[in-house]
Structure formats: C-alpha cells, structure tokens
Chains A and B, each alone.
Chain A
Amino acid sequence: MVRYLRLLGVQLRASALLSLQYRYEFLIDGPIEFFWAITMVVPLLIVFQGRTSVAGWTLGEALVVSGWFILLQGVLEGAINPSLTSVVEHIRKGTLDFILLKPADAQFLVSTAKFEPWRAINVFTGIGVFIYAFHLLGHPPSPLGLISSMVLLVTASMLLYSLWILTVSAAFYVVKVDNLTYLFSSIFDAARWPSSVFRGVLRFVFTFVIPLALMTTYPAQAMLGKLTAQTLLFAVVGSVLFSLLARLIWLRSIGKYTSASS
C-alpha cells in the first residue's frame, strides 16, 4: 500500500513537471474554461426564461447540478481522460507490453500515467457556480449536506473512472476505439441537466446503466439537503459494486491482450 502511494507520488510529480513545461497553456485554458462555463449556463437561463421551475427544479437548484457537472468534468479531463486515452494507444501499438512487465499492478500503472493539473481550474469554476447558485437560492448549504455531497464526490469519481476502465477494456476486443473518448464525453454531457427531466427509458439508462444521475444530480440534491439517507446509501453501495465489476472486467479483458507487432 505504502509502495503504491509512493508510486502515485512519483507519477504525480512527473505529470506536474511536464505540465510546468507548458505554462502558457494555463493562460489559454483559464479563459477558455471560464467561457465554457458561461456557455453551459446560457441554455439553463433560456430554459428557465419565464418559468420558475422545470421538472421540480428551480434555476438555483439546476445551477447546483451544473456546478457539479463542471467540477466532475475537471476530474474527468484532469485525472482520468489523459491516462486512459494513452492506454488505448498502447493497446493499439502493442507497447502495453512494457507496462505489463513492470512489477506493479497494471491497472494502477495505466490509470496514473498522466495527470493534467491545469484542469483544476474547473474546480474553481464549479465553486463559482455554486456560490452564484446559493446566492440565488438565498441560503447557504447545510454542513450535513456539504459532508454528504463530499462523500458523493468520491463515489462519482469512482463511477466515472470505472466507466472509463470499462471503455478501455473494450479496446482489447475492438482495437480502433480512439473516438470512444468523444462518445464518452458526449454522453457525459447529458449529466449537466437534473436527471428528473428525463423520462422513461432515458431515465432508467441514466440511473442504472450509465449512472449519470449518481454523478451530478445526487450530489446536488445532497448539497441542497434533499437527499434521503437511503438514496445516499444506495449510491455508495452501488458505486462500490460498479467499481468492483469494472475491475473484474478489466482483469478478464487484459487476459485477452495479445501484443501487436513485436
């Protein structure tokens, strides 16, 4: 365990050094990120034009969901996407061999290969949106709500990561999947809306199959103090089970790996 923590430290340091090399990127990323946040809020304002609530959500409450979306996008693009995009490349070229030969768990190594610290801007943008949202609501979140939403932040990141691992596992079977990243982020885009606006099949899919509801809507509800303890428990247990499943599938599919070229 200590060894893995040390390893994580090494990988993080390498990523940090790498990103310091591209300092100016921060200057570009900052404004772009801010801009994205605004474009994300515009559709919301249009939806709420002339009405106070949609599917039981007021503008302020829906903004909290958007805040969580922005925050998790930061997690996805800063900590999950960069590493796992490179695994797909490794699988296609056959260079995964070098990673498998190293005396540490392969999943750990590939998942921590690369971080993009600059994406932390998203966290601040997300917090900015939260502040604005609670300003609109007129009351600050309760301490209990904040704590449970932090718990859900952890489970949401686990879910995102597990979904990614499942996507990467697919790369062992269908080799050319570089664009799965795009598919993934375009599906994740639906998470910016409170899940209760979706009905029927879509709602089922977004809660149980691709658990977007657990990623943004539940944490937002927790922050607003509207989440029941039962749902919280369901979210935690569900996420843990989902992660275990993803791990099992990863182990199975890496068994299918036959190196490409030589």
Chain B
Amino acid sequence: MSVRNTIRALPALFRVGVFEAVAYRAEFFVWVLSTTMPLIMMALWTAVASDAPVGRYGQPEFVAYFLCTFIVRQLTGAWVAYEMNFEIRQGALAMRLLRPVQPLWTYAVENLAALPMRLVVALPVAVSLLLISGTSRLSKDPKIWLIWCAAMVGGWLITFLANLVIGCLAFYMESSLKLMDVWLAVFFVFSGYLYPLELFPSGLRAVADWLPFRYQIGFPVELMTGAHGVPTALSMLLSQWLYVALMLAIVSLVWRRGLKRFAAYGG
C-alpha cells in the first residue's frame, strides 16, 4: 500500500465513482430531493419574517441564507456510515481490504466522485441566489471567499470523518445506524441547517460554538452571507481545522482497532 500506488489509483477510482453517479442518476436525483429541507425552512422563515424581521434577518436575508445552506449541504455531503454498516455486516468490506489501496481512501474518493453531479444540482440554485438576492446579501470580500474555500474542505472533512467514526463503530455493534440518527438529530439543532445560529439564545449559541456541527454547515454559510469579518473568520477556521485534526486522530484509532475484530461473514 505504498503512497505512490495510492496516488496513482485515485484518479481511476474517481472516474469510476463519477460514472456510477451518472449511471444511477434517478437514484441520485432522489437523494438530492431528500435534502431539500433548507428550501422548506426558507418557506417557513420567510413566513415568520413577513410581519417583522427576526433579529437582523428580513425575508431577503432568509432567502439568501437558506439558498447558501442548500449549496453547502449539497457540496459537503457524506454518507459513508451507511455504506460501512452495510459492508461490515455483509462482509463486503473484505473486497475492499483485498485492494492494494487503503480502504479509507477509496471511501473518500467515492464520496467526492459525486461532486460533479452535485455541482450540476447546486449551480442553478447558486445562479438563482445571485439573481434573487443580488450581490448585496453576499460577502464581497475576496479574502472571505478564500477562507470559504478552506472552510468548505474542512466542513466536508468533518462530515466525512464523523461518518467514518460511526461507520467503524459497526465493528463493535450489530449496527451503528442508531448512533448516526442521534448524530443527525444533534446536527440538525446545532449546525445552522434549520435556522441561522445567530437566532439562538446566547447560552445555546455558546454551546454551538464548542460543538463540531456548526463548522459543517453554519460556518461556510455565514461566510457566504458576510456575517463575519476576516479576523473572526480566521479564528473560526482554526477551530474548524482543530476539529478535523481531532476527528482524524479518532478515525485512525477506531479503524485500526475495529479492523482487528472484523470477520468477513458471507461474501
């Protein structure tokens, strides 16, 4: 499993993943449809803001916020926990282990391979975002947009690594999908997916700052809508990447330990 081999294999794996996403486009489209929650929340919040703005959010700000949320969620999605649960239980993981590439890399590449198709979905939303809210609701600072790029990578990594950790727990229990449900429930509350975290009462907001969830969705979205200046954005980026580092450490631990328990049933 040399580094050179891995690097040489990744483009091919990526191509396979893209073809898969294209081949099962109907299924893919259904996945996209099932992440339309931000659009429903947009309808809800614009109704709430129709008589008076909520905090500094009027109707146009909510529209911009939730369209950004939709884009961020599309581009930073990961679902490895489900795949790993299935493969560990069915023993299909054995096939992955036989390949001369570290399985965690193949999982990552397969996830990223859906990106081109997801871009196809996210682009029209991005365009309509520009058309509806103009540039006035979005950040105009190029430095912020640079930080945004790093924040998107970090956001995806947190989502992906959290999925891996939960997936690896399937080595220890029959199914760790229940844990995934719990993770998602907390994610929905603290990520800024359902409402801007600014609207939280201050006590809860402090909790949200300390949890990883807001760095998955809320942070990139807030950067897009220009909620932070460069210094705050940089310090938040630092916290985000600290989380990435922490999760990376946990993944390498659970993966190595868990794999020892793996016995491929069936095949």
| Distance between Cα atoms of A35 and B190 in the complex (Å) | 14
- Interface hits, A55-101 → B, CB 8 Å: 55
B19 touches A (CB below 8 Å): no
A17 touches B (CB below 8 Å): no
Tell me whether B185 and A180 are in contact (CB under 8 A): no
Tell me whether B43 and A197 are in contact (CB under 8 A): yes
Over the window 172-197 of chain A, the binary record of Cβ atoms lying under 8 Å from chain B Cβ atoms (1 yes, 0 no) is 00101101101100110110010001
A47 touches B (CB below 8 Å): yes
Tell me whether B201 and A49 are in contact (CB under 8 A): yes
| Given A49-B199, A54-B47, A197-B48, residue A39 in contact with residue B189 (CB < 8 A) | yes
| Given A43-B194, A49-B201, residue A182 in contact with residue B31 (CB < 8 A) | yes
A28 touches B (CB below 8 Å): yes
| Distance between Cα atoms of A179 and B37 in the complex (Å) | 16
CB distance from B74 to the nearest CB of A (A): 14
Number of interface residues of B (CB under 8 A): 30
A234 touches B (CB below 8 Å): no
- Interface hits, B36-69 → A, CB 8 Å: 36-37, 40, 43-45, 47-48, 52, 54
Tell me whether B195 and A39 are in contact (CB under 8 A): no
CB distance from A200 to the nearest CB of B (A): 9
Over the window 226-244 of chain A, the binary record of Cβ atoms lying under 8 Å from chain B Cβ atoms (1 yes, 0 no) is 0000000000000000000
Residue of B27, B43, B186, B200 with most chain A CB atoms under a 10 A cut-off: B43
B182 touches A (CB below 8 Å): yes
Tell me whether B27 and A177 are in contact (CB under 8 A): yes
Tell me whether B178 and A32 are in contact (CB under 8 A): yes
Tell me whether A176 and B48 are in contact (CB under 8 A): no
Contacts of B27 in A (CB 8 A): 176-177, 179
Tell me whether B181 and A32 are in contact (CB under 8 A): yes
Query: Secondary structure at chain B's binding surface: helix, strand, loop or mixed?
Result: helix
A204 touches B (CB below 8 Å): no
| Distance between Cα atoms of A49 and B189 in the complex (Å) | 15
Contacts of A50 in B (CB 8 A): 54
Tell me whether A202 and B43 are in contact (CB under 8 A): yes
CB distance from A63 to the nearest CB of B (A): 15
B232 touches A (CB below 8 Å): no
| Distance between Cα atoms of A199 and B34 in the complex (Å) | 20
B133 touches A (CB below 8 Å): no
| Given A32-B181, A49-B199, A183-B33, residue A189 in contact with residue B48 (CB < 8 A) | no
B90 touches A (CB below 8 Å): no
Over the window 170-214 of chain B, the binary record of Cβ atoms lying under 8 Å from chain A Cβ atoms (1 yes, 0 no) is 000000001001100110110000110001110000000000000
A46 touches B (CB below 8 Å): yes
A198 touches B (CB below 8 Å): yes
Residue from the list A46, A198, A202 in contact with B200, Cβ < 8 A: A46
| Distance between Cα atoms of A46 and B182 in the complex (Å) | 21
Contacts of B188 in A (CB 8 A): 39
Tell me whether B200 and A182 are in contact (CB under 8 A): no
CB distance from A232 to the nearest CB of B (A): 25
Residue from the list B26, B31, B47, B199 in contact with A174, Cβ < 8 A: B26
A36 touches B (CB below 8 Å): yes
A2 touches B (CB below 8 Å): no
Tell me whether A46 and B195 are in contact (CB under 8 A): yes
Tell me whether A43 and B40 are in contact (CB under 8 A): no
| Distance between Cα atoms of A28 and B182 in the complex (Å) | 11
- Interface hits, A101-127 → B, CB 8 Å: none
Residue from the list A29, A36, A54, A183 in contact with B34, Cβ < 8 A: A183
Over the window 150-168 of chain B, the binary record of Cβ atoms lying under 8 Å from chain A Cβ atoms (1 yes, 0 no) is 0000000000000000000
Find the B residue at minimum CB distance from A35. Answer: B185
B102 touches A (CB below 8 Å): no
Tell me whether A186 and B35 are in contact (CB under 8 A): yes
| Distance between Cα atoms of A29 and B178 in the complex (Å) | 8
Find the B residue at minimum CB distance from A202. Answer: B43
| Distance between Cα atoms of A198 and B50 in the complex (Å) | 12
Find the A residue at minimum CB distance from B50. Answer: A55
A5 touches B (CB below 8 Å): no
| Given A47-B44, A189-B40, residue A42 in contact with residue B189 (CB < 8 A) | yes
Contacts of A28 in B (CB 8 A): 178
Tell me whether A32 and B34 are in contact (CB under 8 A): no
Contacts of A177 in B (CB 8 A): 27, 30
The list of the 3 closest CB pairs from A to B, nearest first, reads A186-B34, A197-B47, A183-B34
**Chain A contacts to B: CB under 8 angstroms:** 28-29, 32, 35-36, 39, 42-43, 46-47, 49-51, 54-55, 174, 176-177, 179-180, 182-183, 186-187, 189-190, 193, 197-199, 202
**Chain B contacts to A: CB under 8 angstroms:** 24, 26-27, 30-31, 33-37, 40, 43-45, 47-48, 52, 54, 178, 181-182, 185-186, 188-189, 194-195, 199-201
A32-B185, A47-B195, A179-B31 given. 9 additional CB < 8 A pairs?
A32-B181, A36-B185, A43-B195, A54-B47, A54-B48, A177-B30, A183-B30, A189-B40, A197-B44
